Structure formats: C-alpha cells, structure tokens
Amino acid sequence: MALTVVTGAGSGIGRATAVRFARNSFAVVVADINEQTGQETVGLIEKSGGRAVFRRLDVADLTDWEDFADWVCAEHGVPDVVVNNAGILIGGGFVEQTNADWRRMIQINMMSPLVGSRLFVQRMTDAGVRGHIVNVCSVGAFMPTPIAPSYVVAKAGAWFGTQALRAEFGDKGIGVSAICPGLIRTSLAANGTRGGVSDDDSSDWSSKLAAGHRYLGRSPDRVAAAIERAVRHNLSTVPVGIEAWAGWYLYRLSPSAARGLYGLITMSIADKAVALSGKVFGGR
C-alpha cells in the first residue's frame, strides 16, 4: 500500500488532504503538534475504512524532524508522497513583529517544509522511490504586503526553495509541487497572533479575524483536491482560488505593480477590517 505523510494534519488543509489520500487507498501518517486533533483525524480515516497512524511532530524542532523521518521510514517504509502543510500566521507591520516573531515564522513556514523536503527526498532517492514532495505555500508568496511581512517572506522562501528542489530532483524521478491557496476556511487565523500589541489585544484580533475567516474562505477540500491533482500530473505551482490565480499572474506580469497595489493595504486598514469582521460575523 502506498504511503502518504501529511504535516499539520490535525485540522484544515492537512486533515482534508489526509482524508482524501486515505480515501484513495493510501496509508497515511498523520503528523501534528496537537495530539488530540491529530488522533481525531486518524479516527475519521479509520471510521471510513482507511489506514492511518498518528505521530506528534513539532516542525520547528530540527531534532524532532530527524527523529520523525527516521521513525516513518523504519516503521512504515519510505513514503510515496510527503505533504508539508503545517504553518502559522503572525500579523503586524515589519517592525511591529519582534525578532522572536520573525524567527518563529521562518522556522515554521519556510524552514519546516524545506527541512521536511530535504529529509524525505534523500530517503526517496536512496531507496529508488519515485516519490512526490508537496509544499503548501500560499498566494502570500507573491504578495509583498505590509500587513503580514514575515508570513509572505517565509512563504516566498518556501515557494522558491520548492522550485530549486524541483530543478535538482525532477530528472531523478521525484515530483515536486508548490500549492498556493488563497483564502481557505482553516484554524490559521484563530491560532494566529498580532505583533506589536498586548497578548489580550492579540487574542482579540485573532478572534475577530477568525470570525470572518470562517465565512469568507473556501473549503480545505479545494486545496486537498489541488494537492491530489498536483501529485497526479506533477504540477509545479498550483494556485487555489481566483484571488490566488490573480496574485500569481499579477506578480509574474509586473512585480512593481503588485508591490504598489498591495502597499495600499496598510496595517491600520487591516485592523479596521478585522474589527468590522468581528462585528459582522460575531468575533468577540
């Protein structure tokens, strides 16, 4: 039975992806830092007759990553598909976000998919497995915006690293894809933080942002379907959603125009929009 590894599989895009691959007769390693939600994903898969196992993984911890990769290959064999999906959100302007904010963002949203890619692509090539690496990036990779600079920097790095991986291993039988979703209904906003404010204000900001996110985003199943399609056809970059396609083409057409357009959306405007979202959609 083919094996898929999915990080951040305790909810949202990761859970939808794990369930989809299990439905297509893959055994799935469900990885997440949250054991409760990860086990819930395993339960959903097993309830539908699929095969899955949970392993806790802190993607910000390099030693944990290495132990995880060793465990997967020793216990279940070299995976056929690895989906690096885990991610976080930190809002706030360039200097509002602390050094710690920037460091954590880069560790999780940029380094973790690249570390996961490196660890598993090495094992695939050593074992002669014609596998596939999928890194879930974001339309943010093409959005030089002042409202979440650490996020877009990390996603751009993850996207470019994915292209470098594809360039090196594409002729060695390894598929490599970057998935770049737009607005998706996940817990990303609810679990996010706002730099430059108190912890209470940050929590309030995340709650209000999440209220709108629940209604305005599209289903994570759309992204899971895009991941499945990318693996099947070995696609390089796959935007998901009209805003993602628009951002992708705008940046390819004119990076300066994209920078000018996104620069109009300041953090003060974003904060007002988040506050309005809380009022309209019920955030506290």
SS3 string of 249-283? HHHHHCHHHHHHHHHCCCHHHHHHHHHHHHHHHCC
Environment class of 265 (CB within 10 Å of its CB; exposed 0-12, middle 13-18, buried 19+): middle
User: Alpha helices, DSSP H only, in the chain?
Assistant: 12-23, 35-47, 62-76, 99-105, 112-127, 149-169, 199-216, 220-233, 242-253, 255-263, 267-281
More confident residue, 274 or 1: 1
Strand partners, 175: 132
Q: Buried b / exposed e across 160-196, counting CB within 10 Å, b at 16+?
A: ebbeebbeebeeeebbbbbbbbbbbbbbbbbebbbbe
Residues 117, 165 contacting (CB under 8 angstroms) = yes
Q: The tokens of 147 are what? A: 């409202």
151 is a catalytic site residue: yes
Q: Is pLDDT at 42 greater than 70 in this prediction?
A: yes
Cα–Cα nearest to 177, from 65, 79, 84, 77:
84
Where in the sequence is the domain holding 108, given as residue range(s)?
3-281
Q: Is pLDDT at 184 greater than 90 in this prediction?
A: yes
CA gap 275, 206 in Å, rounded: 10
Contacts of 89 (CB under 8 A, 6+ apart): 148, 151, 188, 189, 191, 192, 193
- Mean pLDDT is lowest, of 89-93, 150-154, 157-161, 227-231, for 89-93
Of residues 151, 215, 249, 251, which has the active-site annotation?
Answer: 151
Cα–Cα nearest to 14, from 168, 217, 223:
223
Please state, for a pLDDT cut of 70, what percent of the chain lies above it: 95
Q: How confident is the model at residue 204 (pLDDT cuts 50, 70, 90)?
A: confident
Neighbours of 235 (CB within 10 A): 17
CATH number at residue 175: 3.40.50.720
Q: How confident is the model at residue 283 (pLDDT cuts 50, 70, 90)?
A: low
Mapping DSSP to helix (H, G, I), strand (E, B) and coil, where does residue 82 land? strand
Contacts of 43 (CB under 8 A, 6+ apart): none
Please state, rounded to an integer, the average pLDDT across all residues of the chain. 92
Q: Is pLDDT at 213 greater than 90 in this prediction?
A: no
Q: What is the pLDDT, as a whole number, of residue 284?
A: 55
- Mean pLDDT is lowest, of 56-60, 176-180, 205-209, 257-261, for 205-209
Q: How confident is the model at residue 222 (pLDDT cuts 50, 70, 90)?
A: very high
Give 79-119 pLDDT, tens digit per residue.
Answer: 999 999 999 999 999 999 999 999 999 999 999 999 999 99
How many domains are contained in the chain?
Answer: 1
Residues 203, 256 contacting (CB under 8 angstroms) = no
Please state, for a pLDDT cut of 90, what percent of the chain lies above it: 76
Q: Is pLDDT at 188 greater than 90 in this prediction?
A: no
Give 238-279 pLDDT, tens digit per residue.
Answer: 999 999 999 999 999 999 998 998 888 877 787 777 777 667
Contacts of 86 (CB under 8 A, 6+ apart): 7, 8, 14, 31, 32, 33, 57, 59, 108, 112
Q: The tokens of 155 are what? A: 């996603």
Give 134-145 pLDDT, tens digit per residue.
Answer: 999 999 999 998
